[in-house]
Amino acid sequence: MLFDDMLKADESLFKNEHALDPEWVPKLLPFRDHHQRAIADCIKPVLLGRNGRNAFVSGAPGIGKTAAARWVLRDLEESDHGEKVELFYLNCWQKNTTFKVYVEMCAQFGYAFTQNKKSEELFDIIKEKCNKRGAVFIFDEVDKAEDTDFIYSLLNDIFNKSLVLITNEPDWINTMEDRVKSRLLPETISFKAYTPEETKQILKQRLEFAFVPDAVTPESFDICCTAAGKVSDVRVGLHLLRQSGLIAEDESSKKVLPTHVEKAILKLPAFSPKKPEALEEDQKLVLEVIKAKEHGKIGDLFDAYKAKGGEGQYKTFQRRIDSLSRSGYISVEKVTNREGNTTMIRATKKLTDY
Ligand SMILES: Nc1ncnc2c1ncn2[C@@H]1O[C@H](COP(=O)(O)OP(=O)(O)OP(=O)(O)O)[C@@H](O)[C@H]1O
Ligand SMILES: [Mg+2]
């Protein structure tokens, strides 16, 4: 029988496959003590009934920003102080407007009567709740928010609070309106990429949680680590470990062998498997042009794009470049040379290109 053969009991290579989820927050978060402490320091005054400081957390994908922030939040929730303040964690990729942010906040503190209410009415409820005790707000992927009115309102109308804004883009803060920036005045917390050795240690910890002992051969594990180390993204390593495990199980192998990892690498998309963001047609053409040249100045690439029948003005092209860069398809670097400032664009390599 198909399913009987496929689902034979006790044969899983995984002990806890869930431990390979990118959202899983490990008990220990090595190499990020300093950053966790910096976030906690910003929050501390709120626990003492005072106004807290705000934090601007930035760094490349897959290097523990979300994990560190969630770790601090969980630690606070489980501490004696968790009851003293309102705690919120929101992802602005999912909650990308002020209205959605407010509805989600109400949901998080258990207020269900949000239907037919306007943003202002919801904010009044949030304000009343948060001004009783003080509040901590973590806005992850904050650059994906379509408007930042909620940030302004929280800064203006909640007395004792700490806002933690997380993004991949260190320059995002400069795109904020002055009235918001001058109220935010955040502490900058920059996350640097892990070294290959650090990446390996992190993956080792997850391996032990996720797989039954010795299920992954040392050679297979090394290949996953090398791949993750090359793109400095722990998420890539986690994804590879899980996919290799699944492939090994599909082949009824008792161990995850290098061939399974190699198959998993071949299936990897050209970018960090972070968000399945389907590309729109016009973006596809922009990406094709960049890939054909591998790298180049933004102006030259725009000319090539036009020559291929690309539509839209330079500004629209720039927006597409920004979006491709955010999704990890390309990297963008501002350079200054004798001719002035220019932006260099480079296609992100596939892991299989290494
Ligand atoms: N120091 C660490 N110890 C253990 N696991 C870690 C550590 N750093 C990152 N991870 C794990 O790596 C994965 C990616 O980390 P995380 O989601 O925090 O990345 P991120 O910096 O928020 O990336 P992005 O900007 O793409 O959202 C998560 O599963 C996380 O648990
Ligand atoms: Mg994140």
Query: At the topology level of CATH, where does 33-190 sit?
Result: Rossmann fold (3.40.50)
Binding site membership of 82 for ligand 1 (Cβ less than 6 Å): no
Cα-based distances in Å from 342 to 45, 64, 299, 335: 43, 31, 8, 5
Query: Which residue has the least CA distance to atom 28 on ligand 1?
Result: 22
pLDDT confidence of residue 3: 62
Q: Which residues have beta carbons under 5 A from ligand 2 (an ion)?
A: 66
As annotated, the residues of the chain forming the CATH 1.10.8.60 domain(s) are 2-16+194-266
For residue 266, pLDDT over 70 is answered with yes
For residue 279, pLDDT over 60 is answered with yes
Ligand 1 atom nearest 68 alpha carbon = 18
Determine the residue of 138, 202, 272 to mutate for testing ligand 1's pocket, defined as the one with the most ligand atoms within 8 A of the Cβ atom: 202
Using the 8-state DSSP alphabet, how is residue 211 labeled?
B
Q: What is the mean pLDDT of the chain?
A: 89
Ligand 1 atom nearest 70 alpha carbon = 18
Query: At the topology level of CATH, where does 2-16+194-266 sit?
Result: Helicase, Ruva Protein; domain 3 (1.10.8)
The ligand minimizing its distance to the Cα of 33 is 1
Containing 84, the helix (H) or strand (E) segment is none
- Expressed in angstroms and rounded, the spacing between residue 59 Cα and the centre of ligand 2 is 9
**Nearest-CA neighbor of 207 among 234, 189, 232, 169?**
234
Q: Of 129-133, 273-277, 337-341, which range is least confident?
A: 273-277
- Expressed in angstroms and rounded, the spacing between residue 63 Cα and the centre of ligand 2 is 8
- Expressed in angstroms and rounded, the spacing between residue 100 Cα and the centre of ligand 1 is 25
Q: Does domain 281-353 have CATH number 1.10.10.10?
A: yes
- Expressed in angstroms and rounded, the spacing between residue 161 Cα and the centre of ligand 1 is 25
CB 227 within 8 A of CB 241: no
For residue 257, pLDDT over 80 is answered with yes
Q: For residue range 180-212, what is the model confidence (pLDDT) as tens digits?
A: 999 999 999 999 999 999 999 999 999 999 999
As annotated, the residues of the chain forming the CATH 3.40.50.300 domain(s) are 33-190
Give phi and psi for 71, each to the nearest 5. -60, -45
For residue 273, pLDDT over 70 is answered with no
Binding site membership of 237 for ligand 1 (Cβ less than 6 Å): no
Determine the residue of 66, 140, 238 to mutate for testing ligand 1's pocket, defined as the one with the most ligand atoms within 8 A of the Cβ atom: 66
Reported pTM? 0.77
As annotated, the residues of the chain forming the CATH 1.10.10.10 domain(s) are 281-353
Q: For residue range 119-147, what is the model confidence (pLDDT) as tens digits?
A: 999 999 999 999 999 999 999 999 999 89
Using the 8-state DSSP alphabet, how is residue 256 labeled?
B
